[in-house]
Amino acid sequence: MTHSAPRIAVVVSGFNPEVTGGLLRGALAELQEGGAPVAEGDLIDAPGAFELPLLAQALVRTGRYDGVVCLGCVIKGDTAHFEFISLSASVGLMQAGLSTETPITFGVLTTYDDDQALVRSRDDAANKGREAAAACLGAVAALRRIRAVA
């Protein structure tokens, strides 16, 4: 049994656009190379990392997507805001994936400074957007194998 190419949505946070733009370029390149190019209408802008789980879950519930790649960047500041947003985004994305039984991958950088974020969003093999896209494609393929024998 052959499967069509997976349809993947990408949701990207508007905060730290220099960094999230790099993550987006990496994710799109990985998805293209993996046989799942992303249409312009499947790219969704999020206000910030906190909103990623809701938007990803809503996308999955449309029935149009096999997976969602979520990209963002939260850089530690002088207050506890960093901890709350980072934890909320990670737990929210995990819960959205579990509740929808669909891969929703965590491409949200949680760094202590700007330099760490820039290193992880460069156009190279260590790009975390690329890694999140690869994880999404891998999880889609694994779920297809599991469901094919169920």
Taking only the tens of pLDDT, the chain with its 150 residues reads: 457 999 999 999 999 999 999 999 999 999 999 999 999 999 999 999 999 999 999 999 999 999 999 999 999 999 999 999 999 999 999 999 999 999 999 999 999 999 999 999 999 999 999 999 999 999 999 999 999 997
Q: Which CATH architecture has domain 8-149?
A: 3-Layer(aba) Sandwich (3.40)
Among candidate residues 81, 83, 87, 115, the one labeled active-site is 81
Q: Write out the binding residues for (2S)-2-hydroxy-3-oxobutyl phosphate.
A: 78-79, 120
State whether the Cα torsion 119-122-128-134 is positive or negative.
negative
Report the alpha-carbon distance of residue 132 to residue 136 in Å, rounded.
6
**Model pTM?**
0.96
Q: Write out the binding residues.
A: 15, 49-51, 73-75, 78-79, 106, 120
Q: Write out the binding residues for 5-amino-6-(D-ribitylamino)uracil.
A: 15, 49-51, 73-75, 106
State yes or no: is 81 an active-site residue: yes
Report the alpha-carbon distance of residue 150 to residue 137 in Å, rounded.
20
